[in-house]
Amino acid sequence: MSPTPRELVLAQLDHQETAYVPYALGFEGDVMERLDAHYGTTTWRDRVDNHIRGVAGADLGTPAYRDEPLVTDLHGNVWRADRRPVHLEKPVLAEASLDGYAFPSLDQVFPAGWLERSRQAANDLRQRYYVVAGIGFGLFERTWTLRGFNDALMDAAAEPDFYDELVGRIHEHQMQILAVLMDLPIDGIRFSDDWGYQRGVLLGDERWRRFIKPRLAEQYALVHRAGKHALSHCCGNVASLLPDLIEIGLDCLESVQPEAMDPYELKKRYGDKMAFWGGLGSQSTIPWGTPAEIHAEVERLCREMGRGGGYILGPAKAIQPETSTENAAAVVEAFLAQAGQTVP
């Protein structure tokens, strides 16, 4: 009997090679609709059998793109939501103070019936797929959504006691959220926190180690005590932090943005200690490569990153609406080809 997608992912996270590399492929904007027209059918969607599936994670009210211009999230921040990307218009904390501020209650984060619906969805999916629940806007990103990006970075440098208090309060809130998520029949938690930009760590390595690392260690430990994996999405160049992340127990780093850091070098240095998910360039190969170059890079990722296990194939970001239909189709076909399938 052939292994299920879940079994393939579990094997890769355990650093075992598999018959083919499991994958996850997402789409944004109108890409899927354009591919429907390209193939003259929607049946291609059923062939894209993402091996990692998500159930509803913590709903903190951060808006997705929509027609409504201004949206207030559960934390009290105001977002401009009618443009891509959605961006912060007015953070809730105008001053470097938490006096009088209350984080959203768990009843707000998890509305009535949420746990039962998510548990059922996870049970159903887990019969075949590796299932995760998400917690977005992690410790670092939540500081800037509450304070504004520039002010949060200034706080870390000029008001370190306040910034430490802010990260600590966010951490306490997120630990409460994680405790609820641990009750779901899932395989892992997919954290999301963009610590990096193209050239390095936004906070700087030492401030990240001071403010973020010890709290992350507690979060990952909570996940591991529940018998689940800790996976984290992070854009940018965070190569300097990988020894720290390995030390505190991150099982899989997702995005692995090749425009910012070399995934093949990361594999050589850390591939026996950490799994990687992603690596296909969303700012380079996918939008600007030829279909042949896309196929070649997918083949190389599967061959080199998949050697010895510890790899999930994926783009660094979901296929963006700026991607040509021809290149989007090439990504789909390359992913299916390495799994021994074709578009119907």
Tokens of 68: 């409504």
Contacts of residue 63, defined as CB under 8 A and 6 or more positions apart, other chains included, come to 71, 73, 79, 81, 86
SS3 content of the chain, % helix, strand, coil (to 5): 45, 15, 40
Residue 253 lies in a domain: yes
Is 98 part of a structural domain of the chain? yes
Contact present, 132 and 189 (Cβ < 8 Å): yes
Q: Is residue 35 part of a domain?
A: yes
Residue 343 lies in a domain: no
Paired strand residues for 253: 232, 276
Q: What is the pLDDT of residues 65-107, one digit of tens each?
A: 677 789 899 999 999 988 878 889 999 999 999 999 999 999 9
Q: Which domain holds residue 303?
A: 5-338
CATH value at residue 298: 3.20.20.210
d(CA 28, CA 292): 23
- Overall number of domains in the chain: 1
Taking the C-alpha atoms of residue 341 and residue 164, their distance in angstroms, rounded to an integer, is 50
In tens, the pLDDT along 230-264 reads 999 999 999 999 999 999 999 999 999 999 999 99
- Predicted confidence at residue 9, as pLDDT, reads 98
Residue 344 lies in a domain: no
For the whole prediction, is pTM greater than 0.85? yes
Residue 139, domain member (yes or no): yes
What is the pLDDT, as a whole number, of residue 65? Answer: 66
Spans in the chain with pLDDT lower than 70: 59, 61, 65
Q: Is residue 37 part of a domain?
A: yes
- Tell me how far CA of residue 60 lies from CA of 57, 72, 131, 142, 174, in angstroms: 9, 11, 20, 11, 11
Q: Considering the domain boundaries, does residue 332 fall inside one?
A: yes
